[in-house]
Structure 1
Amino acid sequence: MTDIAHAARLVAEAPCDGPDGPSGSALAAALRHGGLLEASLTLEELFQALVAIGRASLSAGRLFEGHVNAVKLLNLYAPEQRPDGLLGIWGADGPDPVRIEGTVLRGQKLFASGADVLDHVVVTARNEDQVQLLLFSRPQLAGRLFPEEWQVSGMQATASGRCNLDGLSPDHAVCIGGVGDYLIEPHFQGGVWRYGAVQLGGMQALTAITAEQLQQRQQEKAPLQAMRLHRMVTACETARLWLRQAAQAVERPEATADDAEASILARLLTAREAVALMNAMDEALGAASFATAHPADRIRRDLSFYIRQANPDGLALGAMARILDTPALRERWIG
């Protein structure tokens, strides 16, 4: 049985060898030694693992969530092709989207999380008007990865730089599933509950820091401070309930495309609750928590960045359009 607490503790104790805490290499090493990458987890265990790793480090949680995503896609569409090691998936395109043109790939991937540490990566490539999944090993991408271009204030350790696939033959990759499989629901946007579970871990970490510091200051019984801490606690629990409901709906064997809306709504709610939680924390802890050495500072920056990925406005608009246009969804969510 995998010890989730032990795996999370390894992440939390990773050496601070980077410019903003533990580096991606240190976090990846902790994930590899923790035993979660190869573990067969129940849905409840997976939920707990995502939250626990996110609570220990949001950057590590992002890497772990990407691994889980890649493994799920491989299990769905090419179980015999699953490699060992730390996996990830890169789906974000920039001005030059990755596409298959004849016998070569063109374009570049952005937000390539773990560009400096992944062993294998699944990338999305346009094939005419559909999407094909391609699996590459790290050696195949030698000289094509630019993690140093990741210059942001939050989630620095994910090293989510650029990957240049221009000129590479798709024949060098392993095709995962058929053209268009990647976008099939509820396995596409339906999987965003996993983002939210990692973010919930960061929310819990900030709540624990706030509670501890208010007690150290002997302010925990001050009415305004107690009210702020109460808001943080209820934000965590609200997000947890929505995310667990979404996970149970999306991951059941008989799940349908309509179940993806539960995951999307839960992910969006988690972001809103995270904002409310951080506002309450800022009021409770004051200016002191903005010192770079304060335990809340990096988590705040990481969480503030993480909840903006990826395209939450597009998710919300798409979800509401489908809910309004689909009688069964309208009945479920509006009544």
Structure 2
Amino acid sequence: MVVDFVRADSSPTVAPATPLLATPAAAVQAAEALAPRLFAQAAATDAEAVFPTQEFDWLRAAGLFTAALAPGLGGAGLGAPTATEELLTVLRHVGRGNLAVGRLYEGHTNALLLMQLFGTPAQAARWAADAATGLLFGVWNTEAPAHGVRLEALPGGRYRLHGAKTFASGAGYVARPLLTGALPDGQGWQMLVLPADAQPPVLDRSFWRPLGMRSTASHRADLTGLEIGPEDLLGPPNAYYRQPWFGGGASRFAAVQLGGAEAVYDETRRFLQALGRTDDPYQRQRLGQMALLIESGRQWLRGAAAHAILPNDAGAPASPAAGAYANLVRTAIEQIGLAVLPLAERCVGARGLLQPEPFERLHRDLTHYLRQPAPDFVLADVGRFVLEGNDLY
């Protein structure tokens, strides 16, 4: 096993403050403008040993690091229920630029949303200040087989951590990972935000040998021996798994995935135009089918915003359809991505799959990212929901 210690000084140096975006619409404009720049840089960071440091400097400089924060916390308000469509659009644009960056940025955004939803005002203010100084957040939830994270109670409300997380995206660069751990005596699962710059986990880099999404640094992170205080605990036990927030978050990673499918579509069109193959009726038919698929994905995201908006108050009632609709969105966009890829392959042929063309990387990244857990279960759960007489709309 290759084990590596990664400490805070390996993270990129950032400016002490990030620009402020005044509105959700401004965040959408910033992400749309940044997407081509991210795309042009993507090939340079397509390796397990490389982290997209420069890309995250660009996200910070564009004000997108704090965009998910409420205006009172220095953000653009992308976390508000009324800004759901703008939030999903920002994620789609970042994914269109680089799926690996999109995956990491979605985790950063997810953590900021959870800390606003379940944190105390003092915690939210503290973590918002961390984001404003450029610290990267993330969410690490996947348990290491037979070695999941558990909390050992210590005096003074402190805990010692034992166990590990796998698929810990951004490990070694995420300074504030939000993770879950089992409380003593079967009390449930507790969210916490680890100050990883002060207490870095031990990373097993040999875990991450992926097909795609190479630069996400999704290593195995062993947290054994690290200690946290009561100020690091987020929300009550089992809050992370509360519905509809847990299942409803699927729309966010689906938005990033759709951005990857859009990149495949955009590059296929560019490739055929460069070769002068725009008069071929079969190529036209394939591009028409791809256009249909991409537009249907955008409509699904609009549906997620219109019909499955999640309240930003943990005590407020939410539509029971929110989680079920998000599962539909996730499933539909997975099917869209899986349909776009073979159409693009037929369009560009073997020539298009040679470097420096981007298709080989795009196909690896999207194929890998589409493999989210339990795809059959989530669709079956939608079936259960509607068979019980519930309405999705």
TM-score of the pair, normalised by structure 2: 0.78
* Structure 2 residue aligned with 1:87: 137
- Corresponding position of 1:308: 371
Is residue 2:167 matched to residue 1:114? no
Counterpart for residue 95 of structure 2: 54
Q: In the TM superposition, what whole-angstrom CA distance separates every residue of 1:94-126 from its partner, at most 9, and x where no partner exists?
A: 211112244432211001111132121100112
Which is worse superposed, 312-321 or 215-224?
312-321
Whole-Å Cα distance in 2 between the matches of residues 97 and 277 of structure 1? 37
1:242 counterpart (300, 304, 307): 300
Q: Does 1:29 align with 2:36?
A: no
1:205 aligns with 2:263: yes
Match of 1:76 among 104, 117, 138: 117
Q: Residues 50 and 61 of structure 1 are in contact (CA less than 8 Å); yes or no, is this contact kept in structure 2?
A: yes
Structure 1 contact 10–30 (Cα < 8 Å) conserved? no
For residues 45 and 231 of structure 2, the distance between their equivalents in structure 1, rounded to whole angstroms, comes to 32
The corresponding residue for 2:382 is 319
| Cα distance in 2 for residues equivalent to 1:206 and 1:19 | 16
The answer to whether residue 182 in structure 2 is matched with residue 126 in structure 1 is: yes
Q: Please give the alpha-carbon distance, in whole angstroms, between the structure 2 residues aligned to 1:129 and 1:273.
A: 41
Equivalent-residue separation in structure 1 for 2:42 and 2:359 (angstroms): 18
The question of whether the paired residues in 2 share the 8 Å contact of 1:115 and 1:147 is answered with: no
Task: Give secondary structure in 1 for the equivalent of 2:365.
Answer: helix
Question: Which deviates further from its counterpart, 132-141 or 265-274?
Answer: 132-141
Residue 328 (structure 1) shift: 1.6
Maintained 8 Å contact 2:139/2:177: yes
From the superposition, tell whether residues 258 and 44 of structure 1 become closer, same or farther in structure 2 (CA, over 3 Å). closer
Match of 1:166 among 224, 231, 234: 224
Asked whether the equivalents of residues 88 and 251 of structure 2 are also in contact (C-alpha less than 8 Å), the reply is no
Structure-2 change in CA distance of 1:311 and 1:300 (3 Å): same
Match of 2:215 in 1: 157
* Cα distance in 2, alignment partners of residues 98 and 173 from structure 1: 19
1:115 and 1:146 in contact (8 A); partners too = no
Once the two structures are TM-superposed, the CA of residue 263 in structure 1 deviates from its matched residue by 0.6
> Aligned partner of 2:61: which letter?
H
Name 1:6's counterpart in structure 2. 33
Q: Compute the RMSD of aligned alpha carbons.
A: 2.3
Q: How many residues align?
A: 330
Cα distance in 2 for partners of 1:112, 1:90 equals: 5
- 2-structure distance, mates of 1:13, 1:220: 24
1:100 pairs with 2:163: no
Cα separation, 1, equivalents of 2:188 and 2:383: 24
Deviation at 1:312, TM superposition (A): 1.9
Q: 1:226 to 1:47 in 2, by over 3 A?
A: same
Contact 1:67 1:86 in 2 (8 A): yes
Amino acid paired to 1:317: A
- Deviations along 1:164-196, whole A, 9 cap, x unmatched? 012323437601100011111111011110111
Secondary structure at the counterpart of residue 249 of structure 2: helix
Letter in 2 for 1:131: W
Deviation at 1:213, TM superposition (A): 1.4
Deviation (angstroms), 1:271: 0.5
Give the whole-Å Cα distance in 2 for the aligned partners of 1:46 and 1:227. 32
Q: 1:319 and 1:147 mapped to 2: Cα distance?
A: 37
SS in structure 2 at match of 1:327:
coil
1:271 and 2:334 are equivalent in the alignment: yes
Does the residue aligned with 1:256 lie in a helix, a strand or coil?
Answer: coil
Match of 2:12 in 1: none
2:348 aligned to which of 278, 282, 285 = 285
Which residue identity is paired with 1:222? D
Distance 2:196 2:290 in 1: 41
The Cα shift of 1:15 comes to: 7.4
* Match in the other structure for 2:104: 63
Q: Which stretch of structure 1 is more off in the superposition, 97-106 or 200-209?
A: 97-106
Q: Quick one: which amino acid aligns to residue 80 of structure 1? A: A
Note if contact 2:178-2:194 (Cα within 8 Å) is conserved in structure 1: yes
Q: Is the CA contact (8 Å cut-off) linking 1:17 and 1:26 kept in structure 2?
A: no
CA shift in 2, pair 1:26/1:263, >3 Å? same
TM-score by length of 1: 0.90
What are the Cα deviations for residues 99-158 of structure 1, in whole angstroms up to 9, with x where unaligned? 224443221100111113212110011222622101012223425234463111200010
* Partner Cα distance (1:129, 1:318) in 2: 27
> How high is the sequence identity, in percent, across the aligned residues?
31
